[in-house]
Structure 1
């Protein structure tokens, strides 16, 4: 088991249920999107399992594998084996404008690279840039904002209100986007943040 499990046991436990649900869905309907979602759930904690599902996503992709899947798989391989990642090659001399969806993806990939290197503050900065680009470009599938909610909540500095706003924004947009897989991904953490926020409101009353 990847060493990172020891560094984040709480998050892994929270995601076990999500992973089990996604695996059941994959058994019933083995698609590239579901395999990729499972890989993304495993990726922060168990790289070998993540890589297995990235490769399944690749084998199930009709035609060329989408760029975002290639990046996820490549970054996972980099964390396991070292070397240059796809995003480092792909975005050389071609950083997109900061108010575009492409920039949101670029910034998100930069945040994943920072996470792989253990650069937590840099990861948070890139997630903020990605979330802002999502907002400016009108994108409603907001991975960056719910990841920011997790980061703010996990800091434990009492800033529950901000974590709650970020998570609620992501939930609302996932509902608009009708992103069932995204809702499954964020549901457990959303419930934890919502309960903590409610308890804080009750104490303040």
Structure 2
């Protein structure tokens, strides 16, 4: 029907908007992806933006969402589900007030969280590929997003420098990383809003 068609069209557009090599991030139809399983197992908190933490006090305790177990009945009445959800939220707030945690450290991921390094990676790859393939036109950002961003260096050099030997490809990847580090010293900028969350942490620790 039209609803299902619209869903798959929007899903395809959102997938193609990002790196096509990534595929579906969290699920393929009803099946969770490997990334989703690793994230659910190892990540304590997952958020789209580090500044989302500004909405919570530093002693806030995050609890996983309550999920129905295999032997439990799924309640069909929305009102009952909402009541249970509200009760669970009240319990979380009570636990948060009751338990005070002394925070010793806060750990952040780097790429995409503290800095957006894609622009610097793009510049580094643009220069290296121009040196290795001087007859080819300079790559643009669209090419970078489609063929390079999010991929490992060995895969990139194998696809884009297939005319070179394995040793030459590895050498190109090493030179790219060295160039990236030099460029990063001057051009990496903190993620928008990061200064607010850092100041909040310093003020409330």
TM normalised by structure 1 equals 0.24
Max Rg structure: 2
Higher relative contact order (CA 8 A, sep 6+): 2
Q: Would you tell me which structure has more helix in proportion to its own residues?
A: 1
TM normalised by structure 2 equals 0.24
